[in-house]
Structure formats: C-alpha cells, structure tokens
Amino acid sequence: MEPKFNTRQLIKRALAEDIGRGDITTCAIIGREETGRARAIAKSPLVVAGLNVFAEVFLCLDPAMEISCFVAEGKRVNPGEILLTLKGNLRSILTAERVALNLLQRLCGIATLTRAYVDAVAGTGVKILDTRKTTPGLRSLEKYAVHMGGGCNHRFGLDDGILIKDNHLWAAGSVAAAIERARQAAHHLLKIEVEVKNLAELKEALAAGADVIMLDNMSLDQIKEAVGFTAGRVPLEVSGNVTLADVRKIAATGVNFISAGALTHSAPAADISLLLGADERG
C-alpha cells in the first residue's frame, strides 16, 4: 500500500514552511560544496513506516543525494539499529533534517502503536481499524502507517462509504428513517453502516437492513449483549474510548472490528535521530 496522494507536494510545503527565506545557520557554517554522510538511527523500539517519505524530503532538495535503506517497511527494530543512510551535500542534509524526522517519527509512532493494538487482539480474528481522526493534510500518510503497523483502514474520507452517525440519526429522526434515506440514495453496491448507542437502536438497525453496525461507546456488558442478540447476522464494529488496556476484552466478545481514533490522534512520536558521520556500512 502506498499513500494515495502526491507526497512531494506535501513535502515541498513543509520544507517551505521550515526554510522560509533560507537556512541561515547552515549556510553560515557549511560551505556550498561540502559533502558528508548521515545515518538515521532508532533510539527506541519501533515499527518502521515512512522511510520512502523520509528519503523524498532530501531528494526534494538534492536529487543527487545517495540514500540506502537497511530495514523494510513494517519491520520491528530495536534501539541502535540503523534505518537509513545518506551521502551527499551537507547543506541539503542539515536543511532537510527536521522536516524529514518530523514525518518519519510521526509515521513510525503510528505504526508502532497500531502494532501494539494488533498484537493485543492476536488470535481473536478481530481487525483493528483506524478512523478519520487524522492530522489535516496527513491522512494518506497516517493511514499508510496504520497499514504498516498491521492495522486495517476504515473509509478514507466522506466519499468512501456510508456511515450514519449520531447527528445523522438526529437529523433523520430515527435509525430506520436514516437507513431508508441512505438506501434510496445509494447505488446497489454500497453497504450501509450505522452507529448505535444501545440495544434498542441495534434492534432497529437490524430490522431496517443495516449492512454493518457500529456499537458506539458501549460498555463491555452491552457489547456482549449486542453480540448475542445479533448472532452473526451482520458484522459488528466497536468504537469509542477504546484503549490498549481493554482492547483484548472487547475483542473476546465476538465482534468483528474495533476502530480506535487513538491510533492516529494519540500516537507518540517514535524516537529517531539523524547523526552525521560515516558508520561501518560506509
């Protein structure tokens, strides 16, 4: 899976934001033609995501930059492992450093947290999903990182599927009315997912022909009751306040999907450094 949009456009905007009228510190200290080497090193355990994006930042400034990757996307690495090396113009390396690290640390952080959720539900058959709670402008990259962490992508945007949420239900007047309106507007290949907050709404959604039902902010007991009543008739997704501490208990109820906004809105940045100087890899 590759990001769905032109990452170079994003990178150019990020570089312009950081560089402004020029990197005055680097230009004052480093000669225009000076060259050197650098290596990106993991400083904490992490799952790799975004080395291609990291490399592209440097290539935007210097197409002649020599880049070598030493780990694969989606791979777990330990502190001290070299992720990537650079060889080229020193000004370009130092000027692009922060933007490149910001993106790589963000994406590896998401992939690492996602892998923790995926590992927590291993053996249950439950799929861990992301949400649209992403950084504006970075959704494609952040959902890519979820995928590299072993998670699955929910809809990418509002044009990617029908998901009837609480405010839609309020506007339509009822679960049944909202589903009926969606069914009339949708073509025959579109599935309809509806969010419910209690067993009464679940029953109404089933009777109205929902294809997927999201159990929103329900307690563990409510989720178990919903699974028992549904009896496999439609897939069930749990969402709302899902944490790493309780995701295994939720998965054990027999639901099909668990979506967690925390994968993208609360993932801590991975600890990665870019150090100048040659290493044994040359």
Any idea which residues carry the catalytic annotation?
Answer: 98, 133, 165, 195, 216
CA torsion angle for 248, 254, 259, 263 (degrees, to 10)?
20
Residue 235 phi, psi (nearest 5):
-65, 145
Bridge pairing between strands 66-69 and 82-89:
antiparallel
Alpha-carbon distance values, 119 to 113, 252, 261 (Å):
10, 14, 17
Q: Give CA–CA dist 264/268, Å, rounded.
A: 9
Q: Give CA–CA dist 50/222, Å, rounded.
A: 39
Taken in order 62, 68, 71, 77, the sign of the CA dihedral is negative
Give the ranges where the chain is alpha helix by DSSP (H): 7-19, 24-29, 51-61, 90-120, 139-148, 166-172, 175-185, 199-208, 220-230, 247-251, 262-265
Q: Give CA–CA dist 85/67, Å, rounded.
A: 6
Strand partners for 257: 127, 237
